[in-house]
Protein backbone atom coordinates (compact mmCIF):
# COMPACT_ATOMS: atom_id res chain seq x y z
CA UNK A 1 0.00 0.00 0.00
CA UNK A 2 1.49 3.33 -1.09
CA UNK A 3 0.82 6.68 0.60
CA UNK A 4 -1.12 8.15 -2.32
CA UNK A 5 -2.86 5.05 -3.69
CA UNK A 6 -6.31 6.00 -4.99
CA UNK A 7 -5.61 9.75 -4.99
CA UNK A 8 -6.23 11.78 -8.14
CA UNK A 9 -4.09 14.88 -8.33
CA UNK A 10 -4.00 17.70 -10.89
CA UNK A 11 -0.54 19.20 -11.37
CA UNK A 12 -0.19 22.57 -13.12
CA UNK A 13 3.01 24.24 -14.32
CA UNK A 14 4.93 21.40 -15.95
CA UNK A 15 6.77 23.06 -18.84
CA UNK A 16 9.70 20.65 -19.14
CA UNK A 17 11.74 18.07 -17.22
CA UNK A 18 13.40 20.78 -15.14
CA UNK A 19 10.14 22.32 -13.90
CA UNK A 20 9.59 21.98 -10.16
CA UNK A 21 6.11 20.71 -11.07
CA UNK A 22 7.75 17.79 -12.88
CA UNK A 23 9.78 16.88 -9.76
CA UNK A 24 6.56 17.04 -7.75
CA UNK A 25 4.60 14.96 -10.29
CA UNK A 26 7.41 12.39 -10.36
CA UNK A 27 7.33 11.90 -6.58
CA UNK A 28 3.50 11.91 -6.40
CA UNK A 29 3.45 9.20 -9.08
CA UNK A 30 6.11 7.16 -7.26
CA UNK A 31 3.88 7.16 -4.18
CA UNK A 32 0.88 5.84 -6.10
CA UNK A 33 -1.09 8.95 -7.16
CA UNK A 34 -2.93 9.12 -10.48
CA UNK A 35 -2.01 12.35 -12.20
CA UNK A 36 -3.51 14.79 -14.67
CA UNK A 37 -1.25 17.55 -16.00
CA UNK A 38 -2.10 20.95 -17.43
CA UNK A 39 0.12 22.78 -19.89
CA UNK A 40 0.13 26.34 -21.13
CA UNK A 41 0.12 26.69 -24.91
CA UNK A 42 1.07 24.55 -27.91
CA UNK A 43 4.74 25.48 -27.40
CA UNK A 44 5.09 22.96 -24.56
CA UNK A 45 2.31 20.49 -25.39
CA UNK A 46 4.51 17.79 -26.98
CA UNK A 47 7.03 17.84 -24.15
CA UNK A 48 4.34 17.70 -21.45
CA UNK A 49 2.58 14.81 -23.22
CA UNK A 50 5.89 12.93 -23.33
CA UNK A 51 6.46 13.51 -19.60
CA UNK A 52 2.87 12.54 -18.75
CA UNK A 53 3.37 9.21 -20.52
CA UNK A 54 6.27 8.50 -18.12
CA UNK A 55 4.04 9.39 -15.17
CA UNK A 56 1.25 6.89 -15.67
CA UNK A 57 -0.26 8.27 -18.86
CA UNK A 58 -3.04 10.36 -17.30
CA UNK A 59 -4.82 13.20 -19.10
CA UNK A 60 -2.92 16.23 -20.37
CA UNK A 61 -5.11 19.31 -20.68
CA UNK A 62 -4.42 22.84 -21.88
CA UNK A 63 -4.97 25.59 -19.32
CA UNK A 64 -4.04 29.25 -19.52
CA UNK A 65 -4.90 30.71 -16.11
CA UNK A 66 -5.48 34.18 -17.59
CA UNK A 67 -8.51 32.90 -19.55
CA UNK A 68 -11.85 32.01 -17.96
CA UNK A 69 -12.74 30.01 -21.06
CA UNK A 70 -9.54 28.00 -20.88
CA UNK A 71 -10.08 27.32 -17.15
CA UNK A 72 -13.69 26.16 -17.71
CA UNK A 73 -12.72 23.94 -20.65
CA UNK A 74 -9.96 22.40 -18.51
CA UNK A 75 -12.43 21.70 -15.69
CA UNK A 76 -14.93 20.05 -18.06
CA UNK A 77 -12.23 17.90 -19.57
CA UNK A 78 -10.88 16.86 -16.14
CA UNK A 79 -14.38 16.09 -14.84
CA UNK A 80 -15.12 13.93 -17.89
CA UNK A 81 -11.79 12.10 -18.30
CA UNK A 82 -10.28 12.01 -14.81
CA UNK A 83 -12.98 12.50 -12.17
CA UNK A 84 -13.07 14.35 -8.87
CA UNK A 85 -9.75 15.60 -7.52
CA UNK A 86 -8.04 14.74 -4.23
CA UNK A 87 -5.24 17.20 -4.85
CA UNK A 88 -4.22 20.29 -6.80
CA UNK A 89 -0.68 21.60 -7.28
CA UNK A 90 -0.26 25.27 -8.29
CA UNK A 91 3.22 25.72 -9.76
CA UNK A 92 2.70 28.79 -11.93
CA UNK A 93 4.43 32.16 -12.06
CA UNK A 94 5.19 34.83 -14.62
CA UNK A 95 7.00 38.17 -14.35
CA UNK A 96 8.45 40.35 -17.13
CA UNK A 97 12.20 39.70 -17.28
CA UNK A 98 12.81 43.47 -17.07
CA UNK A 99 11.07 43.47 -13.68
CA UNK A 100 13.44 40.82 -12.25
CA UNK A 101 16.37 43.23 -11.82
CA UNK A 102 16.77 46.89 -11.01
CA UNK A 103 14.47 48.88 -8.81
CA UNK A 104 10.96 47.93 -7.65
CA UNK A 105 9.96 51.59 -8.08
CA UNK A 106 10.51 51.20 -11.83
CA UNK A 107 7.89 48.43 -12.10
CA UNK A 108 5.19 49.34 -14.63
CA UNK A 109 1.49 49.13 -13.83
CA UNK A 110 1.12 46.60 -16.65
CA UNK A 111 4.02 44.47 -15.36
CA UNK A 112 2.60 44.51 -11.84
CA UNK A 113 -0.90 43.56 -13.02
CA UNK A 114 0.39 40.72 -15.20
CA UNK A 115 2.67 39.32 -12.46
CA UNK A 116 -0.06 39.39 -9.82
CA UNK A 117 -2.68 37.99 -12.23
CA UNK A 118 -0.65 34.97 -13.32
CA UNK A 119 1.41 34.33 -10.18
CA UNK A 120 -1.16 35.09 -7.45
CA UNK A 121 -4.76 35.48 -8.65
CA UNK A 122 -4.37 32.24 -10.60
CA UNK A 123 -4.67 30.28 -7.33
CA UNK A 124 -8.06 31.90 -6.71
CA UNK A 125 -9.06 31.28 -10.33
CA UNK A 126 -8.12 27.60 -10.14
CA UNK A 127 -10.00 27.06 -6.88
CA UNK A 128 -13.02 29.00 -8.16
CA UNK A 129 -13.06 26.79 -11.25
CA UNK A 130 -12.32 23.44 -9.64
CA UNK A 131 -13.87 23.53 -6.18
CA UNK A 132 -16.97 21.61 -7.24
CA UNK A 133 -14.70 19.08 -8.94
CA UNK A 134 -12.74 18.48 -5.72
CA UNK A 135 -13.50 15.88 -3.11
CA UNK A 136 -13.95 16.92 0.51
CA UNK A 137 -10.66 16.39 2.31
CA UNK A 138 -8.60 17.28 -0.77
CA UNK A 139 -5.20 18.98 -0.53
CA UNK A 140 -4.21 22.13 -2.44
CA UNK A 141 -0.63 23.39 -2.52
CA UNK A 142 1.14 26.33 -4.15
CA UNK A 143 4.83 27.03 -4.74
CA UNK A 144 6.28 30.11 -3.09
CA UNK A 145 9.71 31.56 -2.27
CA UNK A 146 11.45 33.31 0.63
CA UNK A 147 11.32 36.57 -1.36
CA UNK A 148 7.66 36.84 -0.28
CA UNK A 149 8.61 37.94 3.22
CA UNK A 150 12.34 38.82 3.02
CA UNK A 151 14.19 41.14 0.67
CA UNK A 152 15.94 39.09 -2.02
CA UNK A 153 17.63 41.57 -4.37
CA UNK A 154 16.27 41.32 -7.95
CA UNK A 155 13.35 39.05 -7.00
CA UNK A 156 11.38 42.30 -6.75
CA UNK A 157 7.84 42.06 -8.12
CA UNK A 158 8.00 38.26 -8.00
CA UNK A 159 8.40 38.52 -4.22
CA UNK A 160 5.44 40.89 -3.98
CA UNK A 161 3.37 38.42 -6.01
CA UNK A 162 4.46 35.57 -3.71
CA UNK A 163 3.40 37.62 -0.65
CA UNK A 164 -0.06 37.89 -2.21
CA UNK A 165 -0.03 34.18 -3.07
CA UNK A 166 0.81 33.21 0.53
CA UNK A 167 -2.00 35.41 1.84
CA UNK A 168 -4.44 33.98 -0.71
CA UNK A 169 -3.37 30.49 0.43
CA UNK A 170 -4.37 31.32 4.03
CA UNK A 171 -7.75 32.83 3.11
CA UNK A 172 -8.58 29.89 0.86
CA UNK A 173 -7.66 27.53 3.70
CA UNK A 174 -10.32 29.31 5.76
CA UNK A 175 -12.86 29.26 2.94
CA UNK A 176 -12.46 25.55 2.30
CA UNK A 177 -11.79 24.30 5.81
CA UNK A 178 -15.42 23.32 6.40
CA UNK A 179 -15.02 20.73 3.64
CA UNK A 180 -11.81 19.42 5.16
CA UNK A 181 -9.92 20.79 2.16
CA UNK A 182 -6.44 21.90 3.14
CA UNK A 183 -4.46 24.67 1.46
CA UNK A 184 -0.73 25.08 2.02
CA UNK A 185 2.33 26.58 0.37
CA UNK A 186 5.75 25.04 -0.19
CA UNK A 187 8.57 27.58 -0.07
CA UNK A 188 11.27 26.04 -2.23
CA UNK A 189 14.93 26.98 -2.14
CA UNK A 190 16.45 28.15 -5.44
CA UNK A 191 16.39 25.53 -8.22
CA UNK A 192 17.64 26.10 -11.77
CA UNK A 193 14.60 26.18 -14.11
CA UNK A 194 13.43 28.15 -17.15
CA UNK A 195 11.71 30.65 -14.83
CA UNK A 196 14.40 31.06 -12.20
CA UNK A 197 17.07 31.78 -14.81
CA UNK A 198 15.18 35.00 -15.56
CA UNK A 199 15.93 36.34 -12.06
CA UNK A 200 18.90 38.73 -12.11
CA UNK A 201 21.96 37.18 -10.41
CA UNK A 202 20.26 33.81 -9.94
CA UNK A 203 23.50 31.83 -10.15
CA UNK A 204 24.83 33.83 -7.18
CA UNK A 205 21.77 32.81 -5.15
CA UNK A 206 22.59 29.16 -5.95
CA UNK A 207 26.19 29.75 -4.86
CA UNK A 208 25.28 31.37 -1.55
CA UNK A 209 22.79 28.82 -0.22
CA UNK A 210 25.26 25.93 0.35
CA UNK A 211 27.56 28.32 2.22
CA UNK A 212 24.82 29.57 4.54
CA UNK A 213 22.06 26.97 4.93
CA UNK A 214 22.30 24.60 7.92
CA UNK A 215 22.30 21.57 5.57
CA UNK A 216 25.10 23.17 3.45
CA UNK A 217 23.53 22.32 0.11
CA UNK A 218 20.94 23.35 -2.43
CA UNK A 219 17.67 21.47 -2.81
CA UNK A 220 16.21 19.62 -5.81
CA UNK A 221 12.76 19.51 -7.35
CA UNK A 222 12.53 15.96 -6.01
CA UNK A 223 13.10 17.28 -2.45
CA UNK A 224 10.18 19.63 -3.04
CA UNK A 225 8.22 16.72 -4.48
CA UNK A 226 8.63 14.69 -1.30
CA UNK A 227 7.14 17.55 0.73
CA UNK A 228 4.28 17.60 -1.78
CA UNK A 229 3.76 13.86 -1.19
CA UNK A 230 3.37 14.54 2.54
CA UNK A 231 0.99 17.44 1.95
CA UNK A 232 -1.09 15.42 -0.53
CA UNK A 233 -1.27 12.45 1.83
CA UNK A 234 -3.45 11.86 4.85
CA UNK A 235 -0.34 12.18 7.04
CA UNK A 236 -0.85 15.95 6.87
CA UNK A 237 -4.61 15.77 7.52
CA UNK A 238 -4.47 18.39 10.31
CA UNK A 239 -2.09 20.79 8.54
CA UNK A 240 -3.49 23.77 6.65
CA UNK A 241 -2.86 27.48 6.03
CA UNK A 242 0.90 27.19 6.42
CA UNK A 243 4.13 27.74 4.50
CA UNK A 244 6.46 24.71 4.50
CA UNK A 245 10.09 25.47 3.73
CA UNK A 246 12.07 23.04 1.58
CA UNK A 247 15.26 25.09 1.48
CA UNK A 248 17.87 23.17 3.53
CA UNK A 249 17.02 25.52 6.43
CA UNK A 250 18.25 28.69 4.71
CA UNK A 251 15.21 30.74 5.79
CA UNK A 252 16.02 30.32 9.47
CA UNK A 253 19.47 31.92 9.35
CA UNK A 254 19.62 35.39 10.88
CA UNK A 255 23.28 36.00 9.99
CA UNK A 256 25.81 34.50 7.58
CA UNK A 257 28.15 31.93 9.21
CA UNK A 258 31.62 33.13 10.34
CA UNK A 259 33.39 31.24 7.52
CA UNK A 260 31.14 32.75 4.80
CA UNK A 261 32.78 34.29 1.76
CA UNK A 262 30.94 34.95 -1.49
CA dihedral of 103, 107, 112, 114, whole degrees rounded to 10: -110
Task: Report the nearest approach of ligand 0WD to the CB of residue 111 (Å).
Answer: 14
> Which of 40/107 has CB closer to ligand 0WD?
40
Catalytically annotated residue among 145, 174, 250, 256: 145
Tell me if residue 22 is catalytic.
no
Task: Report the nearest approach of ligand 0WD to the CB of residue 246 (Å).
Answer: 9
Burial-class residue 43 by CB neighbours within 10 Å (0-12, 13-18, 19+). exposed
φ/ψ bin of 56: left (φ > 0), alpha (ψ from -120 to 50), beta (otherwise): left
> Which one, of 164, 202, 199, lies nearest residue 185 by Cα?
164
Catalytically annotated residue among 22, 121, 155, 230: 155
What does the binding site for ligand 0WD look like in residue numbers (CB under 6 A)?
Answer: 13, 15, 19-21, 40, 44, 63-66, 91-94, 118, 143-145, 188, 190-191, 193-196
Task: Report the nearest approach of ligand 0WD to the CB of residue 78 (Å).
Answer: 14
> Which of 48/134 has CB closer to ligand 0WD?
48
Q: How far apart are CA 233 and CA 183, in angstroms?
A: 13
In DSSP notation, 166-216 reads: HHHHHHHHHHHGGGT-EEEEEEEPP---TTGGGSTTHHHHHHHHHHHSTT-
Q: How far apart are CA 143 and CA 259, in angstroms?
A: 31
Tell me if residue 105 is catalytic.
no
Task: Report the nearest approach of ligand 0WD to the CB of residue 196 (Å).
Answer: 3
> Which of 87/190 has CB closer to ligand 0WD?
190
Positions annotated as catalytic residues are 145, 155
Amino acid sequence: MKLLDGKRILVTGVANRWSIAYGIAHRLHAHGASLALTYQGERVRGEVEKLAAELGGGPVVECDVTSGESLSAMRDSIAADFGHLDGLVHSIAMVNKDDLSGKVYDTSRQGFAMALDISSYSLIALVQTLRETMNDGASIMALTYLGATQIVPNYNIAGIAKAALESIMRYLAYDLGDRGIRVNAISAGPIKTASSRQVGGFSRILDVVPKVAPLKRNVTAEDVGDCAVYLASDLSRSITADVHFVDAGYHAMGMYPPDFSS
